[in-house]
Chain A
Amino acid sequence: MPGMTDTGTEARRKRARRTAMIAGGFAVAVFLLSIVQMLRV
């Protein structure tokens, strides 16, 4: 975005992307766990 040249902010955005990947992975894992019943079909 305009004005986003601050290196500190960019570093924080990078960390934020990593956090998002972890949170997203957690959500996918919960979904898979909740349909684990399907393995028994």
Chain B
Amino acid sequence: MAHAATHDHHDHHGAPKGFFQRWVMSTNHKDIGTLYLIFSLTMFFIGGAFAMVIRAELFKPGMQLVQPYFFNEMTTMHALVMIFGAIMPSFVGLANWMIPLMVGAPDMALPRMNNLSFWIMPFAFILLLSTLFMPGGGPAGGWTMYPPLSLQGESIAYTIFAVHLMGISSIMGAINIIATILNMRAPGMDLLKMPVFVWSWLITAFLLIAVMPVLAGAVTMLLTDKYFHTNFFNAAGGGDPVLFQHIFWFFGHPEVYIMILPAFGIISEIIPTFARKPIFGYRAMVFAIASIAFLSFIVWAHHMFAVGLPMGAEIFFMYATMLIAVPTGVKVFNWVSTMWGGSMTFETPMLFSIAFVILFTIGGFSGLMLALAPADFQYHDTYFVVAHFHYVLVTGAAFSIMAAAYYWMPKWSGNMYSETWGKIHFWSSVISVNVLFFPQHFLGLAGMPRRIPDYNVAFANFNMISSIGGFWFGASQLIFLGVVVHCVFFSKKKAADRSWEGAKGLEWTVPSPAPFHTFDVPPVIHDDELAHGNTDH
């Protein structure tokens, strides 16, 4: 199909020779995608180092290693770095690399803006991380930045500026993705023929442009409250701190789905490949993603059941939240149905995907428990919540990113990774992550609060188990780093153009590694090559 158009161009012509020109001035979607992925991996290890400090302090009761304020800085920074520095940019990196290849476009629609979107990020995070070395320390009021607590330090101005920069970067990235998907598809790549990953990103990008400006608004008002004597959130001046929580979570809950919808897309690419079957219920999968995105706008107050909402609001937000289980259930059942009767093999991307389906579902179930307003009064602000969102974000979002890295690394690098070491990484990660997070459910149910550096001796055993799991999980990710470095620089095993036997979709029609320029001439689309199989079925 697209071979004639792409094989002529696999001599890397056009790639700038100098390091500065190639990487700093890049407008190439693949190079910018690589930059995003390297950046997010770096942030993953920095955020992971903060998590190690947290788990080391919580290894046993009493104060061990750090001062309480520094502990609070670590919990705040761990969240900000992981959410805005690791998870989100890695999905944007995957989008940059794969969306043009999947829709048959020569590049992103707005390549220069793409460059700017990326290069804002390092500055935002240098600014954010530099607060740790400033007098008074970094932000310590939690990633949610609730006033008045968050306004107590002077670092809030730096944090807010960093959040603004991250927001601008995310919004520009999202605009680029929307413009690319809606306008740059090859002729014949109808919307309902696009891979589910592309669909998931289109919907995510709409979520991003709808809610990132809301976060920008919230933190701007925080800034004016701190430095310009406004009283939006200051009760003493007639303001309302709960207003901040409403605005923040109107951003925050869709943000949760911004971090999971692209994961759904990735899993929907990988499972059909290794089950050697088209995805079950393609249209249902797309509509389920859209439904989840819609519902994400009307559930924000389930984060605030304990602030004293009116009864009617509690009931509305409880039922609206529980509704999300329906489209999510559709997705889980469709992934299982795709595997059912398939000719499955269990390479590393598939192992991570299966772990995703099982463990994300556990995170979803604990989410349903938290959705119950009366029960939430017990769970609120306990380690049960920590366990819940780490199952969703680590074994959900992070596992999907690892699955995607293993799945597409042959296409990116032209080399096969070590399957043995990939599987060692998987098994080590999947066991340790459960040792790390599962006991936190019990801690939360027993009443251990979040964001506290010391705790009652009654919680000692589960905390020690959790910390051992944490160190083990952290060390396991060094294996991942080793696998990536080995694959890119040292692997002798060359990847085929179609690196996986069951892989379908336009990205597998270009050579491995993908040439610097692809689809300069739009490819001819054949239905039997589409990622999800024939849309008529």
Contact = CB atoms under 8 A, between A and B. Distances in A.
Interface in A1-41: 1-4, 6, 8-9, 12-13, 15-17, 19-20, 23-24, 26-28, 30-31, 33-35, 37-38, 41
- Ordered nearest first, which 7 A-B pairs have the shortest CB separation? A34-B217, A16-B109, A31-B213, A3-B520, A16-B183, A16-B179, A30-B213
27 contacts: A2-B13, A2-B517, A3-B14, A3-B106, A6-B521, A6-B522, A9-B106, A13-B183, A16-B109, A16-B179, A17-B109, A19-B109, A19-B178, A19-B179, A19-B182, A20-B178, A23-B175, A23-B179, A23-B209, A24-B175, A26-B209, A30-B209, A34-B217, A37-B221, A37-B243, A38-B221, A41-B230
Contact of A15 (B106, B107, B183, B209): B183
A5 to B, nearest CB: 9
Interface of B: 9, 13-14, 27-28, 106-107, 109-111, 113, 171, 174-176, 178-180, 182-184, 187, 209-214, 216-218, 220-221, 224, 230, 232, 243, 247, 517, 520-522
B110 A1 contact: no
B175 A20 contact: yes
A6 B224 CA distance: 50
Contact of B213 (A16, A19, A28): A28
Contacts, number: 98
Contacts of A19: 109, 178-179, 182-183
A11 to B, nearest CB: 9
Tell me if B's interface is mostly helix, strand, loop or mixed: helix
A12 B174 contact: no
B179 A17 contact: yes
B173 to A, nearest CB: 11
Contacts of B184: 9, 12-13, 16
Interface of A: 1-4, 6, 8-9, 12-13, 15-17, 19-20, 23-24, 26-28, 30-31, 33-35, 37-38, 41
A25 B232 CA distance: 26
Tell me if A's interface is mostly helix, strand, loop or mixed: helix
Contacts of B216: 31, 34
B27 to A, nearest CB: 7
B210 A30 contact: yes
A12 to B, nearest CB: 5
B175 A9 contact: no
B205 to A, nearest CB: 8
Given A6-B520, A13-B109, 20 more contacts: A3-B517, A4-B520, A16-B180, A16-B183, A19-B182, A20-B178, A23-B178, A24-B175, A24-B209, A28-B213, A30-B209, A30-B210, A30-B211, A31-B214, A34-B216, A34-B217, A37-B221, A38-B221, A38-B232, A41-B230
Contact of A17 (B27, B110, B178, B214): B110
A2 B107 CA distance: 11
A12 B212 CA distance: 27
B183 A30 contact: no
